[in-house]
A and B are shown apart, each in its own frame.
Chain A
Amino acid sequence: MSTIQFQLNGAATSVDAAPDRTLLDVLRGPLGVTSPHFGCGAGECGACYVMVGDRAMASCDLPMWSVADKDIVTVEGLGTAEQPHPLQRAFIAEQAMQCGYCVSGILISAAALLKRNPSPTEAEVKAALDHNLCRCGSHNRMVRAVLRAASQMAAS
């Protein structure tokens, strides 16, 4: 057990955890942050993505030691109903989901994309989401939502 400190959604956070415990387990367990979802436990589906710095990463196989002093953002930190992130607004506007279980990971991948590329093409959006699986078939709506958010961010 060791004390690991990092930034979580802008707030200094400190947890006592075994260094090899996964970030997903710590987020969902002691920290009660439920937007990153368990899907496969092997980094293959994207449901558990969180932003580490500017990158979307699977938190299900990310050991706690590796996030020390890092800046972690989950959907809880993207925006709220009162102050939504443009992506959140766009996902509602496009009704971009069916079950929605994969959506938090996809919002994170999209947010990371828009940070490094504020005006992506459709192909770039798809490429950025290729590590996120959606089983319900809402892909095209999600791509439209990301493009909509990008154009709104450019306009504002």
Chain B
Amino acid sequence: MSTASPAPTLPVSLAANPKLSSWVRLIGEGRIAISPGKVEIGQGIVTALAQIAADELDVDIIRIEMIRASTATSPNEGVTSGSLSIQQSGRALRHACAEVRQRFLVAASERLGVDASLLEIDDGTISGPGNVRTSYWELAGDVSLDHDANAGATTKNFAKRAIAGHSVQRVDIPDKVFARPRFIHDCALPGLVHGRVLRPHVSGAKLIALDEAAARAVSGLVAIVRDGGFAGVVADSEAAAETALKALRKGATWSAGEPLPDENDLAGFLKSQPVETYVIDTRMAATTGKPIRTLRRQYTRPYIAHASIAPSCAMAQWAGDDRVHVWTHSQGVYLLRADLAIVLKLLAENIVVEHMEGAGCYGHNAADDVALDAVLLAKAAGGRPVRVQWSRQDEMAHAPFGAAMAIEVEADLDADNEIVGWRHAIWSNGHAARPGRAAQPALLAATEIANPYPRMISTNPPAANGGGGDRNSIPLYDLPAWTVTSHRLLTMPVRTSALRTLGGQGNVFAIESLLDEIAALRGEDPIAFRLRHLCDERAKDVIRAAARRAQWKPQKQSGTGHGVGFARYKNTGAYCAAIAEIEGTDDIRVKRLTLAVDVGEAVNPDGVINQIEGGAIQATSWVLKERVRFDRMRITSTSWTDYPILTFSEVPAVDVEIVQRPEIEPAGAGEAAHGPVTAAIANAVYDCLGVRVRDLPITRAKIIAAMELAS
């Protein structure tokens, strides 16, 4: 039996949505509907949740039908973010399905006249001694699932799991290779018309006058919508909507914008703004060695774009003037609904928000923004559904970015260059301005309409949720003393919100870079140095596993370098160690990344590997190439030419080892690799070229500048 605690409590998502039937329903002969509140954003979560449910119910996974989240029917699980879906939805489903299984066993026992302990379930068929049998579906009328979950339900022991913990093929992939419409972009609702929204090219500019005449003449136009500074068109085809938008843009008069920072001095900008300062953590040693000197280093990372391959898209359809249905690839259908209710001044119950898959989502992108755009334009469509799709340019300029960061770390060293004191200070905008969490909406169009709401200044999630700019800023290493301070900007000229790892990537880059530098100063192997400062065995195991797999440390060859990076995501989630092998002289190439990861129970091991590979490659792209570009007036990196990402020829080989711990609660894998890979590449650059680049991205120009500084 599983590890029941003395006073059992429900998993958090199940406590918030206790009715069993909101999670599990028998549908038709041989089918079971599973309805999580978390959504597929390209991470494979729907498959992993189906595995958990199938396993706990003892049915084949092909019997499971996964229901897309909707505010009409689904449990409210907040937002699909923070690598928490397996922890929250997975635990809730495991628990709910265990109880459903138990309820059916009791009903079967009554019907068959056999003690429940003698019954077995195999693919939904319940059988017992004497060849008696029934099934979930035969018993469906006897068992009501309209009950609240019982905290005492017992889930399977991990050793008995037959599906969870084993690689299965993802349920969504066949549709995607056989071109069966699955993305919101490909959905054809009857009577669908197309909308486009007029957005400024100059940052912060507001629409002050609009000559609509030319747009009105466009064939196929359905409506022009104007609400204060919000303007858009609806037309009977995408081409007509594009043409009308182009005409509308020619008739637009904009106010002057708001100045942007100097893109070449982000640290200077970040450190000169009004801030809210708080101490994240402090640790004082009873006795420490005597500091002889202090290393002071500054690390920076630029603003980073989500840059999904698809521009954001949504559909909306009004029924009368007080009910609206929204289709969205938002990460949080209930949170989006809450913001829509504020803007529309409607009861939330009058709004249904339904999820459909979009392109890969790496955090708070424009999915929510475009949903409000669609709702506002659909008001003028006479009850027809309106589909709005952003342009590539708007996607790269108006969606929130991952926040730029400046991080100062000071390490006090004693006579043996051992660390005796550590100070880590972060300057950054907040890393979250998500919808549905404040009295004011976070949606872009809400700042443009006639009675506008102010632009939400991003904040940081609390430490209990892993923090924001401060995420992963507290060392996991056993250092004798430290102080970690966060300075959150109170101005926000460049819009920021949650991007994969929030501040984790920057903080791990800083910590792991300086540790590497100190190890080098001591002439100590960087892996031995890390292991010596860790007491967490899971942490040590992933570092040792990665080192073994990469045959650490390969013999030094001219023109190549190796580096290591490690973190436990959020200090509470998945453990990940990365070793990078690079080559180059001034323009570097990442040849190979070797990673070891411990997510506890890996529900779909191939899914975990896929996420770690993807995270490692995306992080490599961030480190080598990515930087949101702007002049003092506008975002200029609005195309793939101006915002290049890693291409097939530039992608390193990625080799992943999972340290399986089936007995430990699973953690998400989607954000574990970014910090370690970033640090591993930076440390490999030092190993290869003898210079430390502390300002991301690590480009040829930065390497040359670092070489000049060193010489």
A-to-B contact residues, CB < 8 Å: 21-22, 25, 28-29, 32, 34-35, 37-42, 44-45, 47, 74-76, 79-81, 84, 88, 91-92, 95, 97-104, 107, 123, 125-127, 129-130, 132-143
Contact = CB atoms under 8 A, between A and B. Distances in A.
A97 to B, nearest CB: 6
Contacts of B651: 126, 137, 139-140
Given A29-B238, A135-B360, A39 B392 contact: yes
A133 B179 contact: no
A45 B647 CA distance: 10
B178 A97 contact: no
A140 B179 contact: no
A136 B360 contact: yes
Contact of A137 (B618, B639, B649): B618
A79 B180 CA distance: 12
Contact of B42 (A99, A104, A123, A139): A99
Contact of B389 (A38, A76, A101): A38
A62 B419 CA distance: 61
Interface in B629-654: 639-641, 645-649, 651, 653-654
B393 to A, nearest CB: 9
Interface residues of B, number: 58
B307 A135 contact: yes
Contacts of B610: 95, 98, 138, 141
Contacts of A101: 42, 183, 185, 308-310, 358-360
Contacts of B647: 130, 133
B613 A138 contact: yes
Given A38-B185, A42-B392, A133 B177 contact: no
A98 B612 CA distance: 11
A97 B177 CA distance: 10
Contact of A103 (B177, B389, B645): B177
Given A98-B360, A101-B42, A137-B617, 4 more contacts: A44-B639, A99-B359, A100-B182, A101-B310
Contacts of A139: 617, 646, 648, 651
A41 B392 contact: yes
Contacts of B183: 37, 101
B172 interface: yes
A98 B608 CA distance: 11
B311 interface: yes
B616 to A, nearest CB: 7
Contacts of B172: 100
B586 interface: no
Given A95-B170, A99-B360, A29 B654 contact: no
B390 to A, nearest CB: 10
Contacts of A95: 169-170, 173, 606-607, 610
A132 B653 CA distance: 18
A130 B358 CA distance: 23
A102 B621 CA distance: 17
A33 B436 CA distance: 36
